[in-house]
Amino acid sequence: MSIDPGGRASRYVAAVEQTMLAELCKWRWDSVPQLRRIVETQIRHGGKRLRPRLALAFTDLYGGVSDDVVVPAASIELYHLASVILDDVQDNSAVRRGKPALHTSASTSIAINVSAVTRSLSYHPIHRSTLSHDLKLRLHQELDVAATQLVLGQSIDIGWNGGWYAAPAGFPYRDMVRWKTGALFGCAAAMAALVCGADDAVDTAREFGVSFGSLFQGVDDYLDTFGEDQALRRPRFEDLRGGKLTAPLICLLEALTAAGRTGDAERVTGRLAEGTAAGWGWLLDLMARYDIAEVVRADISRQATELCRLLPSDIPHGTETSLTDLIDTVMTRAGIEWRAVAVGAGATR
């Protein structure tokens, strides 16, 4: 079944983007027209808009109206945009969504400022909406918590290269992905539950979103090491060049340690710290020897299947398909098959 029958989701995503752009009209830019032009260009670059789509799926789940979740989804997407601009600066990434990263096409100072202004804009759509005062407050609280968690997760990511963790075994990878990537997905799902008045389901929705975001990050880790060139619309091995400790590397280090190959493990971490720009064949050969690609694929498949079990069994017919199709969107990027459990039915496809 299509994830977007009749183009409904596409129209909703378009409304989210228009809400993001409309916020620009609320501010004076006559002294900084260049800034407005850059922010608008970044918004129009788009992306997969998975966070708004997740909010829509949960709105359907709880019997809400899609128009009601457009504003909070726009706020989340503005905050996400701000975070990836800053993330590219911190990681010195050259490409974002198949285009030059902002700090390479403009400057680092401008990119940081664009991130700051976009982040500040993210709070206003909710404030301007016709939602009740109490609901606005709760939505802002969700975004505030997710914003803090996102920065905590990013701190873990860059803290590895900063020497904050003595050894890979002590690196809190799970916390990193749940906060850095999962937090805004969790916020999107929780906001949808709040808008629909499903107060008793907010925690469940948030956990699904966080786990979905963790799955998304796991697929990104996999593709950076084992994917085809440009699978992520950026050069392959960017994480390795940046010295990041990703899921494939953690699996390899665990396998080497279990096999008593401490020398090889130290070699891997040493080369990772160097951030070598080329010559990763030796590492891929080592991963092939221990079937790391298959280990990571199996773990990603397990995560995807378990996501279905986080939802209640009495959800409306068809909603589970929307949610599993969202998971399919992520899994298809890596070409990983998974066993989708139909919620409440135990069926597979």
How would DSSP label each residue in 137-161? HHHHHHHHHHHHHHHHHHHHHHHHH
Which H or E run contains 99?
Answer: strand 99-100
Question: Residue 125: inside a domain, yes or no?
Answer: yes
Per residue in 248-290, pLDDT (tens digit) is 999 999 999 999 999 989 988 888 877 654 577 889 999 999 9
Domain assignment present for residue 140? The answer is yes
DSSP 40-77: HHHHHT----HHHHHHHHHHHHTT--GGGGHHHHHHHH
Secondary structure (3-state) at 316? coil
Distance CA 252, CA 219 (A): 16
- pLDDT value for 177: 97
Regions in the chain scoring below 50 on pLDDT: 1-2, 277, 344-349
What pTM did the predictor assign? 0.92
Q: Name the percent of the chain lying above pLDDT 90.
A: 66
* Predicted pLDDT at 228: 83
- If one counts the domains in the chain, the total is 1
**Any idea what the CATH number is for the domain that residue 111 is in?**
1.10.600.10
For residue 191, being part of any structural domain is answered with yes
pLDDT tens digit sequence for 234-244:
778 888 888 89
Q: Rounded to whole angstroms, what are the CA distances from 132 to 16, 66, 127?
A: 20, 17, 10
339 occurs within a structural domain: no
Q: Is residue 46 assigned to a domain?
A: yes
**Cα distances (Å, whole numbers) of residue 75 to 126, 144, 214:** 7, 11, 21
Does 59 map to a domain?
yes
- 131-146 residue pLDDT tens: 999 999 999 999 999 9
Q: How far is residue 267 CA from its own chain's centroid?
A: 31
pLDDT score, position 86: 94
Q: Are 248 and 222 in contact (CB under 8 A)?
A: yes
Q: For residues 84 and 102, what is the distance between their CA atoms, to the nearest angstrom?
A: 10
C-alpha–C-alpha distance, residues 67 and 312, integer Å: 24
Containing domain of residue 81, as a range?
5-334
Q: Is residue 158 part of a domain?
A: yes
Determine the pLDDT at residue 93. 81
Please indicate, yes or no, if residue 347 is contained in any of the structural domains: no
